[in-house]
């Protein structure tokens, strides 16, 4: 009990309290110290979780919720690194290097960026990775939010092969009944 020892050290010189073990004043000081230590420990956790470099639990989740769902499947160290990269982005993040930083801040690796300045188009090829439809939508939303609004972004997640389409086990009529467009077929994941 760190508070008890601190309080006792400060009260002994005053000389008006009987701080012998088992005395009423000693028990009272111990009870106060226990309460102070409990609050102090809780404050230590709150302070730790308030700052990204020291957060390990709910602090990381709280920061991640600003940008989307918490990424609980990765280590705390990687989560901290991604958050710091994400918060480092600024309105001046308009270069190819900044776009690369944006992608890595989203936890994406294995990409290629091609620029076409005359058409204001940036092509981002993510076909080295295998993303679910949900993850693809999240990536699109994040990039729309983070990259400059005047740029058109072409995202390439890779093409679905005929073998993958066949593996779905659907007849032509079943596929047609689903109302797929070429874009929706391209985004399918078996």
pTM confidence score: 0.52
Which tens digits make up the pLDDT trace of 58-68?
999 998 888 77
Phi–psi pair at 121, nearest 5 degrees: -120, 135
DSSP notation for 52-99:
TTT--SHHHHHHHHTTSS--TTS-HHHHHHHHHHHHH--TT--SHHHH
DSSP β-bridge partners for residue 114: 123
Provide the mean pLDDT of the chain: 82
Which tens digits make up the pLDDT trace of 133-164?
888 888 888 888 777 777 788 888 876 666 66
What is the CA 38 to chain-centroid distance, rounded?
Answer: 30
CA distances for 154 relative to 56, 88, 115, 157, 172, angstroms: 36, 24, 10, 10, 29
Three-class DSSP category at 171: coil
Phi–psi pair at 172, nearest 5 degrees: -60, -45
End-to-end CA distance of the chain: 58
Distance CA 33, CA 82 (A): 40
Which tens digits make up the pLDDT trace of 94-138?
678 878 888 888 888 888 888 888 887 888 888 888 788 888 888
Q: What is the mean pLDDT of residues 8-29?
A: 85
Please determine, for residue 189, whether its predicted confidence score (pLDDT) is greater than 90.
no
Distance CA 34, CA 25 (A): 14
Torsion of CA 76, 80, 81, 86, to 10 degrees: 140
């Amino acid at each position: 009990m760190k508070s008890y020892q601190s309080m006792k050290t400060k009260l002994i010189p005053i000389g008006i309290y009987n701080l012998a073990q088992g005395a009423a004043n000693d028990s009272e000081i111990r009870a106060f110290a226990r309460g102070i230590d409990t609050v102090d420990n809780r404050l230590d956790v709150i302070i730790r979780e308030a700052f990204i470099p020291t957060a390990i639990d709910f602090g990381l989740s709280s920061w991640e919720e600003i940008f989307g769902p918490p990424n609980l499947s990765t280590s705390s160290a990687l989560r901290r690194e991604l958050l710091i990269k994400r918060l480092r982005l600024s309105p001046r993040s308009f270069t190819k290097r900044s776009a690369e930083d944006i992608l890595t801040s989203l936890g994406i690796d294995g990409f290629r960026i091609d620029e076409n300045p005359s058409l204001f188009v940036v092509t981002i090829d993510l076909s080295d990775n295998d993303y679910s439809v949900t993850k693809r939508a999240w990536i699109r939303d994040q990039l729309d939010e983070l990259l400059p609004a005047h740029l058109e972004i072409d995202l390439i997640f890779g093409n679905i092969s005929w073998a993958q389409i066949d593996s779905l086990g659907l007849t032509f009529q079943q596929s047609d009944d689903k109302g797929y467009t070429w874009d929706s077929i391209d985004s399918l994941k078996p």
